[in-house]
Amino acid sequence: MVRRARRINRTLAMAYPNAHCELDFRNPYELAVATILSAQCTDARVNMTTPALFAKYPTPADLAGANQIEVEELVRPTGFYRNKAANIIGFARGVVEEHGGEVPGSLEDLVKLPGVGRKTANVVLGNAFGVPGLTVDTHFGRLVRRMGLTEQEDPVRVEKEMMEVLPRAEWTWFSHRLIFHGRRVCHSRRAACGACFLAADCPSYGLAGPAEPETAEKLVKSDDREWLLHLAGLNEDYSGNNSDEAEGSRG
């Protein structure tokens, strides 16, 4: 399984050479807040919401002293806005009171802050601090189970098992690649099995979605669709070469 997991990672690296965190941020504070807001919400919606939020509250100290009703109105588009407003204000207060206004760079310190679980902490560590971490969100968990890399349902157990089969240096990038794949090909309700370049390594081929190429390729919808179909052997006329960017391209 270790060999298969690493082979999957290499294939994903070729498919998504520019995989990256799709939340917009300029610093650890902004990334942490954006990640908290992304719960049960698309990254695109969060990215439309945060500019006004950060314009009004550019630092943890600003947000820590904010009026919750005003924050609720700003984050309303992300859903569950009351809880999210309370969480990001609580997070900011924790940063100010416990860490002098600077977002901490360790998992142990981050998960002690209000609104921050292991997923959010790993997103912040991996993308704002360069500390490798696995982001076990719904896409990640669904895909590693479909691929037979784990049978665990609990995110912490999934994270632990995947840490054991992947090189530490690849944890953050594997997370990005897998999330990209979950959003573009291996959808939750109907995966594009017949148009998936990982078919040979996936025990769920034909079970998670249609195996017929003509049906499956219609489910692949992204800017790099032609490249992904080419990797799956369905677009022989493709003339580009995204794989040239795979080496050294880290988002």
Of 56, 119, 237, 244, catalytic: 119
Alpha helices in 57-80, H assignment, sequence order: 60-64, 68-75
Rg value, the chain, Cα: 19
Please identify which of the residues 56, 137, 160, 224 carries the catalytic annotation: 137
- 133 touches 107 (CB < 8 A): yes
Task: Find the length of the chain.
Answer: 251
Q: Is 237 a catalytic residue?
A: no
Q: How far apart are CA 167 and CA 192, in angstroms?
A: 28
CA pair distance 183, 176, nearest whole angstrom: 11
223 is catalytic: no
> Is the separation of the CB atoms in 108 and 118 below 8 Å?
no
**Catalytic residue ranges:** 119, 137
